[in-house]
Amino acid sequence: MLPQGVAIDSRTGIVSPSTTVYEKRLSEFRGVYSDTAALDALIASKGDLVTYTVSERKDPGTDIFFGTTVMQPGRVGEEYFMTRGHFHARRDRGEIYYTQSGEGLLLLQSRDGEIRTVEMKPGVCASIPPDWGHRSINTGTEPLVFVWCCNQDAGHDYAEIATRGMRQLVVQRGGMTAYVANPKYEA
């Protein structure tokens, strides 16, 4: 492996060259968004939209793993488009999220259910401590583009958040962004 520059487009999030690119579509989020009827109605009217695209750059011969996530603007019912959310499989691995364009919220949750948020806006680099679950949410009207970087061995543990979600939902109510308790989490 030799030193090199990897171009990242701040508007599209395209990483050149990347090693893997994947997309997540609405239909993969049944049971993730709280309003299932709104999800079905959105898919019926707009089709199975891509809500986010992840471009990864993983090189052999280093411990560093980086890439971008591009989250489209939109909502399922009141809830803004968001990532699945995960803890890292290795509990001693943190991560950074550097926002390049758009606006959103990084919702973080500790293992014992403490919630924190970090505003995502251009120029802000969020530091995610080890063992905090994290989900990014586009609260704006433009694509939210952020660069992430962690260790290659951090891994993704989706199970806990997939089972009961995060403690709070981030919604738009009366034109404002609001946090509401997630009934599924407390159940």
Question: What is the contact surface with ligand PA5 in residues (CB under 6 A)?
Answer: 54, 69, 83-86, 95, 134, 136, 148, 150, 156
Tokens 């898919």 appear where? 43
CB of 151 to ligand PA5, least distance (A): 10
Residues that bind Ni ion (CB under 5 A): 95
CB of 85 to ligand PA5, least distance (A): 5
Contact 47, 9 (CB under 8 A): no
**Residue 126 in tokens:** 């969020």
Residue number, 32 or 44, with CB nearest to ligand PA5: 32
CB of 95 to Ni ion, least distance (A): 5
Closest CA to 184 of 28, 26, 33, 27: 33
Report CA Rg, the chain: 16
Backbone phi and psi for residue 143, each to the nearest 5 degrees, phi listed first: -60, 140
Measure the CA–CA gap between 171 and 174, rounded to whole angstroms: 10
Q: Read off the DSSP letter of residue 87.
A: B
Contact 25, 34 (CB under 8 A): no
Closest CA to 166 of 136, 125, 140, 146: 136
83: partner contacted, choices Ni ion, ligand PA5, none (Cβ within 5-8 A by kind): ligand PA5
Q: Tell me which H or E stretch contains 186.
A: helix 183-186
90: partner contacted, choices ligand PA5, Ni ion, none (Cβ within 5-8 A by kind): none
CB of 97 to ligand PA5, least distance (A): 7
Closest CA to 66 of 144, 118, 7: 7
Residue number, 42 or 128, with CB nearest to ligand PA5: 128
| Residue of minimal Cβ distance to Ni ion | 95
CB of 77 to ligand PA5, least distance (A): 20
Residue number, 106 or 171, with CB nearest to ligand PA5: 106
42: partner contacted, choices ligand PA5, Ni ion, none (Cβ within 5-8 A by kind): none
Residue number, 135 or 171, with CB nearest to Ni ion: 135
85: partner contacted, choices Ni ion, ligand PA5, none (Cβ within 5-8 A by kind): ligand PA5
